[in-house]
Amino acid sequence: MLSSYLAHLAVERGLSANTLASYRRDLRRYVEHLEARGLATLADVAEGDVVAFLAALREGDDHHPALVASSAARAVSAVRGLHRFALREGVSGHDPAHDVHPPRQMRRLPKAISVADVERLLAACGPEDSPLALRNRALLEVLYGTGARISEAVGLAVDDVSRDPGHDPGQDSEQDPGEDQVRLRGKGGRMRIVPLGRYARRALDAYLVRARPSIAAHGRGTPALFLNARGGRLTRQGAWEVLQAAAERAGLSGVSPHMLRHSFATHLLDGGADVRVVQELLGHASVTTTQVYTLVTVDRLREVYAAAHPRALN
């Protein structure tokens, strides 16, 4: 039954190899748990047996360490799916896992860096006259200025950047961004249009005019916006290394591409942006995903209130 369910997940659900490996490991442990309780088939399993397995996951034993809530939740999800499949296939006449819910996970608040730290990071891209430094600055400005995921940024093509018809990319204008925008391809192939702010636009102008042509000359021609030193498309790993090098020069630790995305959202909300607007800019399918950022800004409000209000002290 287990092999049939895993084949169903692979063929009909299209789960990745890594996810399948995790499910296989979790379900084999579940089968061992059932065998130890003298249960030979899924039809013999009761709800208490599933609950006992969840408890065993959280407590651990001589052969298995205790699992954190997220790992235990994954294992319980695999077990629930197995029993649903067994019921649907007629192997079992009931679903003992239906009312057994995964353990609640602590909500992790996204980490963001301050505006001042962002400015230090962007200023640490290297010599201004270096083509790669101009590329690096443009990349980081786009990541922070649009809230793009790193995969979305490196997946950009030159044609994904739309410019204001009245703007001359050869001029370092102080005018408003106008119709400058970038087209991002998010999860599930969802497309979204995000405005391109003045700083990101100027950094892209400098890169496209003064750097990209010379970098592209080393390659075979590609529509990719961000290129590596050999003229090919910049990879996720290459973009990560660009960020890490800039962070090291700026004296910042623990900075990741996703942290820039978090900072984009947090700074927008701190500035008064509506959560629904931030949802659209981030490309979240549900506003519930975006609302976690409001918890960060509430904490910030508390800090400001505690520091500034004369009656805030306990």
Catalytic positions, written as ranges: 149, 187, 258, 261, 284, 293
Residues near 59 by beta carbon (within 8 Å), at least 6 away in sequence: 66
List, in sequence order, every residue forming a beta bridge with 182; answer none if it has no partner.
161, 194
- Cβ atoms of 110 and 293 closer than 8 Å: yes
Long-range contacts of 250-257 (CB under 8 A, 24+ apart): 250/117, 250/120, 250/121, 250/123, 250/124, 251/120, 252/113, 252/117, 252/120, 252/121, 254/111, 255/113, 255/121, 257/143, 257/149, 257/150, 257/153
If you search the block for the tokens 């119709």, which residue do you land on? 179
Decide the pairing of beta strands 181-185 and 161-162: antiparallel
If you search the block for the tokens 């092999």, which residue do you land on? 3
Phi, psi of 184 (to 5 degrees): -110, 140
- Cβ atoms of 153 and 131 closer than 8 Å: no
Which of 175, 177, 182, 138 shows the shortest CA–CA distance to 159?
A: 182
Question: In the chain, what is the straight-line distance between the N-terminal and C-terminal CA atoms, in Å?
Answer: 61
- Cβ atoms of 224 and 232 closer than 8 Å: yes
Amino acid at residue number 194: V
